Amino acid sequence: MQKNKAVIILGTAHLATTPGKQSPDGRLKEYAYSRALVADIKAKLEAYGYHVMVDFEDCQPCAEMKAATVNEQQSKELSYRVKFVNAACKLFKAQNCIYVSVHVNAAGAAGQWLNARGWSAYTSVGTTKADKLAECLYKAAETNLSEYAKTFPATEKVQKPIRRDTTDGDSDMEAALYVLKHTDCAAVLTENMFMDNKADTDWLLSEAGKHALARLHIEGIIKYIESA
């Protein structure tokens, strides 16, 4: 993919009106954290000369997302994001576009601290054009999460700093997520640690954590564009 033709579409996570989606102590709210991280990634990629778009920068639902119920609003939100990405794909050609949606994971919905930790990236199910993009992000994670890995006790046997599913020969996790399944370009959703794990939340809110995650996305995206 030629740099002057590449269009990077970044995705933000949820809305301020989406219930839950925060650390148990309320310090980290996913919608705000995601938008701040996306803004940093966007600014740095633009400084390198890339064309960058964001699917939805506001925290509040727009007119197209107004709904009577939470579930209806979430459905409209996802549809809005997909339409945004696919409109860009039509304008700039899908083969020149990539979509990276930036989220924070959670192991539960009860507002309690839990044990799950780690970074991961999702693609849609099966062999897709996003697999290579995800692999570039995983390579960047290996480099940029080395300090994060040191926050794991030496006795830890279950949790991994980088979460992988290698059963199909690559690293990415797979799921039929709407924004991955219905977008026309290579699309990956990153889950940047767990907001219901206290150690992860502390790291996410640190300046070192924010910097590492920004660099991870920037390096992975650029590597993919340069190798495509």
Q: For residue range 6-33, what is the model confidence (pLDDT) as tens digits?
A: 999 999 999 999 999 999 999 999 999 9
The domain ranges of the chain are 7-227
pLDDT of residue 131: 97
Burial class (CB in 10 A: 0-12, 13-18, 19+), 48: exposed
Whole-model pTM: value is 0.97
pLDDT digits (tens, 9 = 90+) for 139-192: 999 999 999 999 999 999 999 999 999 999 999 999 999 999 999 999 999 999
In angstroms, the CA 137 to CA 173 distance is 12
What's the pLDDT band for 3 if we cut at 50, 70, 90?
A: confident
Residue 92 has pLDDT above 90, yes or no: yes
Q: What architecture does CATH give domain 7-227?
A: 3-Layer(aba) Sandwich (3.40)
* Closest among 81, 42, 44 to 62, alpha carbons compared: 81
